[in-house]
Amino acid sequence: MPQGGIMPGEDPKAALFREVLEETSIPASKLQLIDEIEEWLGYELPESYRNAKTERGQVQKWFLLRFLGRDSDITPDQKEFSSWEWLAANELIDSAAPFRRAVYRRVCARFAAVITAER
């Protein structure tokens, strides 16, 4: 679940493709935008995770993408991601940091119909 900040004046969709490229090396040409959640979803960080950049938490815009490449096209940036794996939605939620799980549940529930129809 690559995530990142939006630069001042940057469109959220442009930020989406920039962040995915930065964190995974997947170019926009190997991604297809399928859906997006209109509302912004947020969570509060536990105090031990807070810093000047994140402050109390994050508010995020969520998109569903189809990956058009091969697994070998994915190269984690070794900063924010050191490895990756494909997970079912329930596994993704269970593996997330506890403070992120409520948002991840909402994201997975919102995209569930699309994901199921895609199979």
pLDDT in tens, 89-117: 889 999 999 999 999 999 999 999 888 77
Looking at the predicted structure, is the pLDDT value of residue 118 above 80?
no
Top CATH class, 12-118? alpha beta
Task: Report DSSP state, residue 91.
Answer: H
Residue among 37, 9, 33 nearest 20 (CA): 33
How many other CB atoms are found less than 10 A from the CB of residue 97? Answer: 11
The percentage of the chain sitting over the pLDDT mark of 70, rounded to a whole number, equals: 98
Q: Where are the domains of the chain?
A: 12-118
Mean pLDDT of 4-21: 93
pLDDT in tens, 16-64: 999 999 999 999 999 999 999 999 999 888 888 888 877 888 889 999 9
- Strands 41-44 and 57-60, bridge-based pairing: antiparallel
